[in-house]
Structure 1
Amino acid sequence: MTSRITELSVDCADPAALARFWAAVLDYVVIDEDPELVEIGPAGRADEQLLADIRTGPVAPTIFFARVPEDKVVKNRLHLDLSPIDTDRDGEIARLESLGARRTDLAPPDVTWVVMLDPEGNEFCVLRSLAPGEFSLS
């Protein structure tokens, strides 16, 4: 028996704003939205094709942003790691900052990744770039 990750859920204060930030970061679209819950995911996935794809292998999950009354007060227990695919790491960091992310000093010294915060203070990392010319398997 096997399971697949099909959705991720993020508690937040402003689902619409945080969903739009992450949609811009990941090149996702808003799939469904109400004041308390917003879902984002890859564009153009028909339900029938998505179900077939999930049954045959892993797929990019959708992300739900749910309004909760409490504020974030400690480090995330789970966070996202991002790898740029069409620019270098520092170019992607600049793009993320223009969307509302902030750099932190949480990464240990002498590492290749940068720890950032989304607009609600959730930690995520920007890893090395996978863009052509930035990364190769050889």
Structure 2
Amino acid sequence: MGLVVSHITFDCADPNALAGWWAQVLGWERVWELDPADEEVALRSPDAMGTWLFIKVPDRKSSKNRVHPDLRPPNGSDQATELARLLELGATPVDIGQGDVQWHVLADPEGNEFCLLVRTPAQVADDGD
């Protein structure tokens, strides 16, 4: 049997703000914070299958992420709608050398890259992908 993933951790300057931003993006809820001064904040998916932890660190992000989330539009939505929503929330388009691709590479307010894919979960399931 393999290991079980507990959570994905993001080093950041302001865990409270970044967790709040991602909570809006993902529709996840804040499940705990550690005192003092919001140095650790955790979000959990509604199905309790995923947890992201945001930890305060003194250094700033200095290069491209080596690991990043790939996000799909939810069923009933589409890439264009979600892209507009993400940009309105403060995501910024970034060029990491991806060239001409179907997905969008964006960065959160602290510069962490993530991708917005084209197909919804239902579209992926219908294709047997």
The answer to whether the superposition gives a TM-score over 0.5 is yes
Once the two structures are TM-superposed, the CA of residue 131 in structure 1 deviates from its matched residue by 6.4
> Which AA in structure 2 matches 1:25?
V
1:118 and 2:102 equivalent? Answer: no
- Rg (Cα) greater in structure: 1
1:96 and 2:86 equivalent? Answer: yes
- 2:64–2:96: 8 Å Cα contact kept in structure 1? no
Distance 2:114 2:95 in 1: 12
Q: 1:36 aligns with which of 29, 39, 42?
A: 39
Distance 1:27 1:18 in 2: 14
- 2:30–2:43: 8 Å Cα contact kept in structure 1? yes
SS at 2:101 equivalent = coil
Unaligned runs of 5+ in 2: none
Say if 1:100 and 1:2 are closer, same or farther in 2 by CA, change over 3 A.
same
1:68 and 2:52 equivalent? Answer: no
Distance 1:70 1:29 in 2: 27
- 1:107–1:115: 8 Å Cα contact kept in structure 2? no
SS at 2:11 equivalent = strand
1:84 and 2:73 equivalent? Answer: yes
CA RMSD between the two structures: 2.2
SS at 1:73 equivalent = coil
Q: Aligned pair count?
A: 124
> Which AA in structure 1 matches 2:3?
S
SS at 2:31 equivalent = strand
Match of 1:50 in 2: none
Identity among equivalent pairs (%): 40
Distance 2:22 2:55 in 1: 13
Once the two structures are TM-superposed, the CA of residue 134 in structure 1 deviates from its matched residue by 9.5
Unaligned runs of 5+ in 1: 46-59
